[in-house]
Amino acid sequence: MRPFSYAAPATLAEAVTALAESGPGTKILAGGTTLYDLMKLDIEAPPAVVDIHRLAEIAAVDTTRPGEFSFGAGARMADVADDPVVRRDFPALAESLAKAASQQLRNMATVGGNLLQRTRCGYFRGGPVFPCNKREPGSGCSALGGLDRGHALFGGGDACVATYPGDWAIALLAFDAVVDVIGPRGARTVAIADLHVEPGDTPQREHTLAGDELIVRIRVPVTPSGRGSTYHKIRDRESYAFALVSVAAGVAFDDRGVVEDCRIALGGVATRPWRAPAAERVMIGERLTEATARRAGEVAFAGARPGTGNAFKIELGVRAVADALRIAGERAVR
């Protein structure tokens, strides 16, 4: 860890000013469970930190307005995961948080910071021993030809195959969430689908926010497929592990029992949160059966490009999609 300057503004307005006035490389600090961790590993070395962890203004959860749930960026993961309304009306959202990290981390970490967590690729986190284009642009990618059991099947390339590790963004992506952002140049709204980017030739760039932009809240349209939803996470142990494969799925049926809305997004297998629209289309207009669900899974994983140690995640993923659709279907109102 290197020395850095620290500011803890009392209001959102002050925070925006502090970010505008601070120099390049300044980092927003929320729960710190990613940022401090990477600072201790000497991977992030911000000269200045602006702490927003105690800003009550951006910590509210609102599930009372019609048509939309709103989550302040500063809300704790644990609070949203345990919210009874979210659990009832949007199980995929609650489960994506409940199945992430550990209780201690969820008590500390925020739903805004969660979106911008960085990859758990061991070569990235391992420091200068390993070439890594994300950490040291141009140095190479050690995961290619290396230990890649946890690496991406989708969205990777010659520069980087590191997996986007978060769970929450997968669920948000399936349900077309947006994030409201504020910065020195004003406020704007970014679709979650446009927040994260594939590595391309610049794997060090992971999202589309400017360094001085602050996520204020996350908004999710409430839909019937939200009630009939699940976040199905397959991992190496039953808790406290990132996904090998995860699936956010939502289903809504018409009155004949035919699928009229279907949402499928994948985690643990792509360089960014990964929506599977072609798989969703497989289901729409069909009945949800073992066969159609399996077919959706196969379509979802059709374009997968495995490395040396992660090909098993294709079949695992296909089955996880099918199971997720079944669980979601059981929850959907018929």
Ligand X SMILES: Cc1cc2nc3c(=O)[nH]c(=O)nc-3n(C[C@H](O)[C@H](O)[C@H](O)COP(=O)(O)OP(=O)(O)OC[C@H]3O[C@@H](n4cnc5c(N)ncnc54)[C@H](O)[C@@H]3O)c2cc1C
24 contacts other proteins (rule: CB under 8 A): no
Cα gap 248→229, rounded to integer Å: 7
Angle at CA 303, nearest 5°, toward 164 and 244? 40
- What are the residues whose beta carbons fall under 8 Å from the beta carbon of 37, sequence distance 6 or more? none
Q: For the CB of residue 320, give the shortest distance to other proteins in the complex, in Å.
A: 6
Residues 98-127 that bind ligand X (CB under 6 A): 100-101, 105, 109-110, 112-114, 116-117
316 contacts other proteins (rule: CB under 8 A): yes
Nearest residue (beta carbon) to ligand X: 113
Pairing of strands 245-253, 259-267: antiparallel
Nearer Cβ to other proteins (71/124): 124
Nearer Cβ to other proteins (95/180): 95
Exposure string (b/e) for 289-327, b if CB count within 10 Å is 16 or more?
A: eeebbbbbbbbbbeebebbeebeebbebbbbbbbbbbbb
CB 326 within 8 A of CB 297: no
- Alpha helix stretches (DSSP H) within the chain: 12-21, 35-40, 77-82, 84-89, 91-98, 103-108, 111-115, 122-125, 168-174, 224-227, 277-283, 290-300, 312-331
Cα gap 275→271, rounded to integer Å: 12
39 contacts ligand X (rule: CB under 6 A): no
Q: How far is CA 121 from the centre of its chain?
A: 15
Cα gap 58→156, rounded to integer Å: 34
Which of 16, 22, 34, 133 touches ligand X by CB under 6 A?
Answer: 34
CB 179 within 8 A of CB 142: no
291 contacts other proteins (rule: CB under 8 A): no
Which of 39, 48, 59, 73 touches ligand X by CB under 6 A?
Answer: 73
The binder of 94, among ligand X, other proteins, none, by C-beta within 5 to 8 A per type, is: none
Nearer Cβ to other proteins (122/183): 122
Q: For the CB of residue 234, give the shortest distance to other proteins in the complex, in Å.
A: 5
**How is residue 141 annotated by DSSP?**
B
332 contacts ligand X (rule: CB under 6 A): no
- Contact track, other proteins, 243-282, x by CB under 8 A: -x--------------------------------------
- Contact track, ligand X, 47-66, x by CB under 6 A: -----x--------------
28 contacts ligand X (rule: CB under 6 A): yes
Q: How far is CA 115 from the centre of its chain?
A: 5
Residues 62-121 that bind other proteins (CB under 8 A): 120
The binder of 31, among other proteins, ligand X, none, by C-beta within 5 to 8 A per type, is: ligand X
The binder of 98, among ligand X, other proteins, none, by C-beta within 5 to 8 A per type, is: none
Q: For the CB of residue 156, give the shortest distance to other proteins in the complex, in Å.
A: 18
Cα gap 164→155, rounded to integer Å: 10
Residues 127-166 that bind other proteins (CB under 8 A): 128-130, 142, 146-147
The binder of 273, among ligand X, other proteins, none, by C-beta within 5 to 8 A per type, is: none
CA dihedral over 213, 72, 170, 333, signed as positive or negative = negative
Cα gap 300→315, rounded to integer Å: 11
Provide the binding-site residues for other proteins, judged by CB under 8 A. Answer: 1-3, 40, 42, 120, 122, 126, 128-130, 142, 146-147, 234, 236-241, 244, 312, 315-316, 319-320, 322-323
Provide the binding-site residues for ligand X, judged by CB under 6 A. Answer: 27-35, 37, 52, 73, 77, 100-101, 105, 109-110, 112-114, 116-117, 166-168, 214-215, 242
